[in-house]
Structure 1
Amino acid sequence: MVLLFNAFVAAPVASALGRDDRNKGLTLVAYRAYAVSPTVLTLDLWSVKEAAPIDLFRALFQAAEALKGKRFDRVNLARGGHTVFVLDGGVFQTLGQEYALGQNPIYLVRTLPEKLLTPSGSPAFETWTGGWLGVLSKQIEESNAFAQAWVEGKTPSVAPSY
């Protein structure tokens, strides 16, 4: 029964990722938290062989698109079973809907980090304001930091700016 319950999230994600040959350098598995939680999804990065940061983002967006019709309270982004980041379930669903509708992936990549939380619930990255060039530069920097942290399985410590 537990396997069937998890198949409702694992199968659509595996199918979506399997249709894209560019995902062969990583293994991302979807399952329900604690194998039974109906409201908490885990996207677990099991392995990364040869994947650039953009590959991680694409796989995350494809997983969100595959599950865009399902509602979760929270989505854990894990590495080897250890939660590294958390996304609000509504943000995850919106991400899947926007990706499905053809939203510019660069926009999705650069704005994702400000939506991420640490496992304890605090913001994982800053929300930047100011001139577009400075904001864009910081967003890209944090996007790369997110990808590296997810691969390493270590939530970065972000000191708040005042």
Structure 2
Amino acid sequence: MKKVYTAIILIVLLCGGVLSANYIFLQRHMNEVLKEDPRNDGISVWVYYKWFVNSSEINYDLRSVSAENSSLDVSRVMLQFAEKVKDYDFSKVYLSYRGKDKFYLKGEYFKTLGQEYGIQNPVYTLRTIPENVYMLNGERAYSVWEGGLLGVMGKQMEDLSDFSKAWYLDDFIKSMSD
């Protein structure tokens, strides 16, 4: 019986350690992002290591968005979080909505987003996000556009809108009608 109690205690301690590491290294930074900017009110995001233990990959899990928030608010929160963890190295950042993986960004690109936040032109950053988004099977989710500036910008903004819909907006709208 003593071995059973010891095993249970070890399992509880291990689970507590895993959850603590996820909070200390990731979620704590997200909580700061959400609290520091009043424009982030109404948005809830959980950030954790893939499977809670794979520290080379993270899940950026958008849990909820209020009807008062825009897709730009959601993107800004992601960029602010990237800035908070810009010194971390990840191989992939999975973009999830309510626990379901939808897309991923390469870790190197996510790091660049964090390093350039506050420096790079925000319109440029936003319009080029979709060309750096990958489907879960590893294929690019959106094209890399070339050509005249106005035509390229128009297509990039269409892709940004489509990306938001595919990531969370379609599911959000569906949940409001349920």
One-letter amino acid of the counterpart of residue 54, structure 2: S
Match of 1:119 in 2: 136
Structure 1 segments of 4 or more deviating over 6 A? none
Match of 2:97 in 1: 79
Match of 1:2 in 2: 18
| Number of matched pairs | 153
CA contact (8 A) 1:17 1:62 kept: no
One-letter amino acid of the counterpart of residue 165, structure 2: Q
Match of 1:39 in 2: 56
In the alignment, structure 2 segments of 5+ residues that lack a partner are: 1-16, 172-178
One-letter amino acid of the counterpart of residue 4, structure 1: S
One-letter amino acid of the counterpart of residue 68, structure 1: K
TM-score under structure 1 length normalisation: 0.90
Match of 1:158 in 2: none
Percent of pairs identical after alignment? 37
Match of 1:92 in 2: 110
| Structure number, greater radius of gyration | 2
CA contact (8 A) 2:34 2:43 kept: no
Q: How far apart, in 2, do the equivalents of 1:105 and 1:16 lie?
A: 17
TM-score under structure 2 length normalisation: 0.82
Q: Tell me by how many angstroms 1:152 deviates.
A: 3.9
In the alignment, structure 1 segments of 5+ residues that lack a partner are: 155-162
Report SS of the residue matched to 1:39: strand
Q: How far apart, in 1, do the equivalents of 2:34 and 2:161 lie?
A: 21
**Structure with more of its chain in helix, by fraction:** 2
One-letter amino acid of the counterpart of residue 41, structure 2: K
Report SS of the residue matched to 1:84: strand
Q: Tell me by how many angstroms 1:147 deviates.
A: 1.2
Match of 1:159 in 2: none
Report SS of the residue matched to 1:38: strand
One-letter amino acid of the counterpart of residue 43, structure 1: Y
Question: Which fold has the larger relative contact order, with Cα–Cα distance below 8 Å and residues 6 or more apart in sequence?
Answer: 1
